[in-house]
């Protein structure tokens, strides 16, 4: 069946009826990525929000699925690519360069797994820290919409069979912590845990990609965290939290292992950070990590990092991601 032509009004009406990029792509016989791209263009053009089914909170998808929370998730992966991003702090109206780079990497590298290594949700308005002056902070629902929209884009370009994993971070925990403190009587009610809103992502505290390779949001702190993580754990250790985006090798009689910081998927000078940093310089970098396994062994970890506006750097090349 050929692709169906449809004008803007028809696309918007169809979206509001189907409320699903997957179903809309099937209806129009086009790629899901094309649907997501047109959705963004129309939202910008008409200053509207085209919400998906999960944002509407339907019983079918938004509240009915609740994952069993696992402390440790084991993948047992022997060969293939795993993409690990962290600290996206998704914010309404912002699609960072690193985020676009991630979509490019997913489409190009065809990973076996994509790991959101914590703090996709920021929780600015429910932080334990006081508001700074009259700084505007998005509401919980606005942040939830931003997270859902961004993760839907990732889901749309992920290859068939790719595992979607969310190693929870301290900012993610704000969602449930505030509810547990303020409304403990609602325990186990669907929708009161963060994972209920993201049914396609498997939550855990740590993901063991293969024997000797663990991914989790945080472990040691400080400037030498990546070194200390792999030194004290005795394994390859991949963390986020510190936003520094770097690879630290450590060698001893057992060979070489790596400590990896997956940086931040957000813009370093984004509105999530600018006020509490008081415009101070920070040793942060925007990007994410590419892990390649060969016969169960981790090859030297690679980084994709922001080069310039709408460009990322990877394997000695500058890649334009403005169309992502």
Every domain of the chain and the residues it spans:
8-50, 60-320
pLDDT-based confidence at residue 32 (cuts at 50, 70, 90): confident
Is residue 286's pLDDT more than 60?
yes
The fold of 60-320 is: Purple Acid Phosphatase; chain A, domain 2 (3.60.21)
The 10s digit of each residue's pLDDT in 295-319 is 999 999 999 999 999 999 999 999 9
pLDDT on residue 210: 93
Residues 196/65, Cβ–Cβ less than 8 Å? yes
Which residues neighbour 101 within 8 Å (Cβ) at sequence distance 6 or greater?
287, 288, 304, 306, 312, 314, 319, 321, 324
The 10s digit of each residue's pLDDT in 133-155 is 667 788 888 888 999 999 999 99
* Mean pLDDT, rounded, for 51-64: 45
Please provide the distance, in angstroms rounded to a whole number, between the alpha carbons at the two ends of the chain.
26
pLDDT on residue 276: 73
Least confident piece of the model among 13-17, 58-62, 310-314: 58-62
* Mean pLDDT, rounded, for 192-207: 89
pLDDT on residue 61: 36
Which residues neighbour 227 within 8 Å (Cβ) at sequence distance 6 or greater?
248, 250, 259
- Residue predicted with more confidence, 17 or 64: 17
* Mean pLDDT, rounded, for 32-54: 78
Average pLDDT taken over every residue of the chain: 87
Grouping H, G, I as helix, E, B as strand and the rest as coil, residue 148 is helix
Least confident piece of the model among 26-40, 97-111, 117-131, 278-292: 117-131
Is residue 63's pLDDT more than 50?
no
């Amino acid at each position: 069946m050929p692709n169906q032509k449809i004008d803007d009004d028809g696309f918007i009406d169809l979206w509001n009826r189907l409320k699903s990029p997957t179903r809309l792509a099937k209806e129009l016989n086009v790629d899901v990525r094309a649907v997501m791209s047109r959705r963004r263009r129309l939202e910008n053009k008409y200053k509207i929000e085209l919400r998906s089914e999960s944002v509407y909170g339907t019983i079918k998808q938004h509240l009915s699925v609740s994952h069993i929370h696992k402390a440790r998730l084991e993948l047992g992966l022997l060969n293939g690519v795993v993409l690990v991003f962290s600290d996206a702090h998704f914010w309404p109206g912002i699609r960072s360069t690193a985020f676009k780079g991630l979509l490019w990497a997913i489409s190009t590298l065809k990973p076996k797994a994509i790991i959101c290594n914590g703090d996709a949700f920021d929780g600015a308005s429910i932080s334990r820290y006081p508001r700074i002056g009259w700084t505007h902070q998005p509401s919980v629902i606005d942040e939830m919409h931003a997270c859902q929209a961004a993760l839907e884009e990732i889901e749309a370009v992920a290859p068939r069979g790719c595992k979607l994993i969310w190693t929870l971070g301290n900012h993610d925990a704000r969602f449930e912590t505030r509810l547990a403190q303020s409304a403990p009587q609602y325990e186990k009610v669907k929708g009161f845990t963060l994972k209920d809103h993201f049914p396609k992502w498997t939550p855990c505290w740590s993901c063991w990609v293969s024997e000797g390779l663990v991914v989790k949001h945080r472990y040691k702190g400080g400037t030498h965290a990546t070194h200390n993580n792999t030194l004290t754990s005795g394994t390859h250790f991949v963390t986020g939290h510190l936003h520094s985006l770097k690879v630290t090798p450590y060698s001893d009689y057992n060979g070489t292992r790596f400590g990896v910081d997956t940086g931040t998927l957000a813009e370093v000078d984004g509105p999530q950070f600018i006020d509490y940093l008081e415009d101070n310089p920070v040793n942060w970098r925007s990007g994410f990590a590419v892990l390649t396994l060969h016969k169960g062994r981790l090859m030297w970890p690679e980084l994709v990092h922001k080069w310039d506006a709408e460009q990322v750097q990877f394997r000695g090349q500058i890649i334009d991601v403005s169309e992502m």
